[in-house]
Structure 1
């Protein structure tokens, strides 16, 4: 792969991964069904847990500038089997995230189509069980496949498209905040926690996937210029900007419209329409579609790079991780992830996919936080482009927060995760363990060699802004 991504593009990829369905769809669904106006607390709690883990990710990104993210970090510190479990786990979770945000985007696309008089047949409007006559979410399927096509055009081209779309998305979110605050009615914010504060915490476990896009960002390490310095900065910047916007939008959303009346499919546009701003509601719907495209882009890119790392190390067949000879991207993995995410998006409701996503990522956060703690004491003198503050308190808080949020998820979600991990262990025992001994006996990262790695890790073209 080629190093072409600078700090601006990396930050935009991070913001693109974080801000999307969380603001435009899931916030309304959680507020209506679980938290009420206390959805604001849901995002703050999820953001606090995410920040603790973000510090751990940033330290690793400044030390291990390799594709693979959590898989690479955990394999380097805790061993190959732990790394494989985390990588196999995240392969499913990233793919599920793409499906979640595609479902969220399809609601706004449907909103726009209805605004111009186009009505899809009932069978194409959603997954089975989400409405009368629903058989498949056709728009969500089309979104997943279109993003896969974009990503196979090449990293430089797709990153430029991502940057432009993210700028447009931020502008739309700022418009929502500025205009929306003029329509807030404080009476809509009472009672603040109609489902109790337990509902807000349950909501935090559900919206968590909306505040950890930096995890997918870390998979682009081998396409980043000066990855050790710029990846940690991009992670912190993208999370900070996104959390401020999330908090403000939650206040606007629940202040404009009573929580019980929010539309879970097109929450912000429907709220603006409810206060007589139909024209602006259509503009927001366009922004939502653009914004959610960037999330699907970031996580599908992350899933493909993770699959590439697993295949390169021999844990999965090399065929999956093949790099396109001209475009220099893992094209086969990208298309397979696009197809699987399209199936999930077309046939499953958004809440089921969101919970499946969150439990896997929370598990990865526990292991990464533990890994950075272990490595700090095992090899304190390793070169680090960023150091996690507040050791050992911050990593311990990251683990505690993640386990606590996992406890609020449904038991069916735990069963699905367990089944997936059993399949992964069987694959490792039957193929990966023996194959990786041949392909790369020392593993993907040798910690003893890190201090001898150069700052850029590879000859690189002139940095892009």
Structure 2
């Protein structure tokens, strides 16, 4: 048989992998564990980092509406993920789902896309981590050379005793009639903190790390507690001020369009939803834990949809209070929650929130790099990537080659690329994954309606179609430069697939060895 780009992985092979204990996991997680896993993965860079830049550049105070739109898209996709997670409980997530339903070429595209999603996601988190670390250190009199604290081209100024991004205090300088040339300022060359952070996390992953549901739950409690501390302090500060800052900063709540698509107005709200979609990608971590769930039929929907509901409520509260405390134009910074807590004037709150964000972002970064290595490992085992990607360290028992290569690239991107671009790339990659997963559910229902499904997505084909439609709408709302970068990334991936993957694919080799009918 000749090469078949749409050859599918048989369900018998997937069942064999699952029964063989391919990833060595046992079914030990209950609904609360899955819920904690989802919340722990979602609460991170989205709430601590991207909320500010999306409000400043696209939606203004109406960023709260953007979060609702993004959550609706996630709900449709989450239902589709829940069906697959209970049906195919093995590693690979969307890559494996599409391999079984849409074929090898689509699986390759989504696998390559997941590499983009997790890699650039980790880089974006690293940039946000750098922002919070620099802010925290300056609170305690420690200053890193400013030209090594941001992406190349970022202008930083020394104002009020602190090095700050010009974009975040430009309005303040204008109102104080302070000319840029009259105060010290530098142009950044490299974000050394973000670079070193990724290398450190990579070293931890190479050496090996064990996470349990108990430890994850404790981290979730800490993260959620810190978010609630910010909400409480913000409410107290605004109440004491008679909500005057909110009246000023929320007027108008939906800023008028600036004359171009995506720059405020309703198109800006849609673009804001597409950008902060990155904030919700964590629920994919719940679907990858399907093999660990004791009762996937009942518990996977609770973990996926429950974590989405909890995090959406927290996101709306934080973004609403953040834009009430601080003018949205001043939030285009890697550490917007730190800027918000500074506005409350509560010293211990500032310390607590910043320390919590530092630890919270570090854990998200680790999970993203860990997830990416799992996708690479699975693709390599299928023969679509070089065997080195699946090479296991003889002592640490980790896929160390893929971890080191990925870590090196992510570290460089974290040091050189602004967080806005990173966030947009992750969002478009995630949205593309959601489109393919929703399409896979519909196609599999049509081709194999007889397969027992522990959990069934309701209202098929309405839910998959809506998931695809909303995700595509948000993709279209992203800047054309983001589409161009995605196109370049996918072109590189196609070159690798046709140059290497299709020749070494285990599925393709099985087709060639199959006797003619």
Q: TM-score, normalization: structure 2?
A: 0.80
Aligned length: 442
From 222, 240, 251, the equivalent of 1:190 is 251
Structure 1 residue 6 corresponds to structure 2 residue 29: yes
- DSSP-derived class of the 1:62 partner: helix
CA drift at 1:155: 5.0
Q: Which moves more between the two structures, 410-419 or 96-105? A: 410-419
| Conservation of the 8 A alpha-carbon contact between 2:233 and 2:344 | no
User: 1:380: which partner in 2?
Assistant: 449
From 172, 187, 200, the equivalent of 1:133 is 187
> In 1, distance between residues paired with 2:232 and 2:509?
54
> In 2, distance between residues paired with 1:402 and 1:263?
25
> In 2, distance between residues paired with 1:69 and 1:402?
18
> In 2, distance between residues paired with 1:290 and 1:127?
22
| Conservation of the 8 A alpha-carbon contact between 1:16 and 1:298 | no
| Conservation of the 8 A alpha-carbon contact between 1:52 and 1:394 | yes
Question: Over alpha carbons, which structure has the higher Rg?
Answer: 2
User: 2:175: which partner in 1?
Assistant: none
User: 1:83: which partner in 2?
Assistant: 107
CA drift at 1:275: 2.8
Q: Which moves more between the two structures, 120-129 or 184-193? A: 184-193
User: 2:274: which partner in 1?
Assistant: 205
User: 1:117: which partner in 2?
Assistant: 141
> In 2, distance between residues paired with 1:169 and 1:359?
26
> C-alpha deviations, 1:357-404, integer Å up to 9, x for none?
111211111111011011122222322232112221111110000110
> C-alpha deviations, 1:81-117, integer Å up to 9, x for none?
1111111111122100000111111111111000110
> In 2, distance between residues paired with 1:389 and 1:429?
37
CA drift at 1:294: 2.4
> In 1, distance between residues paired with 2:236 and 2:191?
35
From 301, 306, 315, the equivalent of 2:375 is 306
1:28-427 superposed matches below 5 A: 28-131=52-155, 132-157=186-211, 162-184=216-238, 185=243, 186-187=246-247, 188-194=249-255, 195-221=264-290, 224-226=292-294, 228-229=296-297, 230-262=299-331, 264-325=333-394, 327-427=396-496
> In 2, distance between residues paired with 1:295 and 1:425?
29
Q: Mind listing any 5+ residue stretches in structure 2 that lack a counterpart?
A: 1-22, 156-185, 256-263, 513-517
> C-alpha deviations, 1:230-276, integer Å up to 9, x for none?
54443223222211211111121112222233352221222222232
Q: Give the direction of change, closer, same or farther, for the CA distance of 1:320–1:189 in structure 2 (3 Å limit).
A: same
| Conservation of the 8 A alpha-carbon contact between 1:314 and 1:439 | no
> In 2, distance between residues paired with 1:424 and 1:362?
18
CA drift at 1:349: 0.3
User: 2:167: which partner in 1?
Assistant: none
> In 2, distance between residues paired with 1:243 and 1:215?
15
Q: Which moves more between the two structures, 282-291 or 145-154? A: 145-154
Q: Give the direction of change, closer, same or farther, for the CA distance of 1:39–1:325 in structure 2 (3 Å limit).
A: same
| Conservation of the 8 A alpha-carbon contact between 1:17 and 1:296 | no
Q: Give the direction of change, closer, same or farther, for the CA distance of 1:336–1:240 in structure 2 (3 Å limit).
A: farther
| Conservation of the 8 A alpha-carbon contact between 2:29 and 2:213 | no
| Conservation of the 8 A alpha-carbon contact between 1:62 and 1:231 | yes
Q: TM-score, normalization: structure 1?
A: 0.89
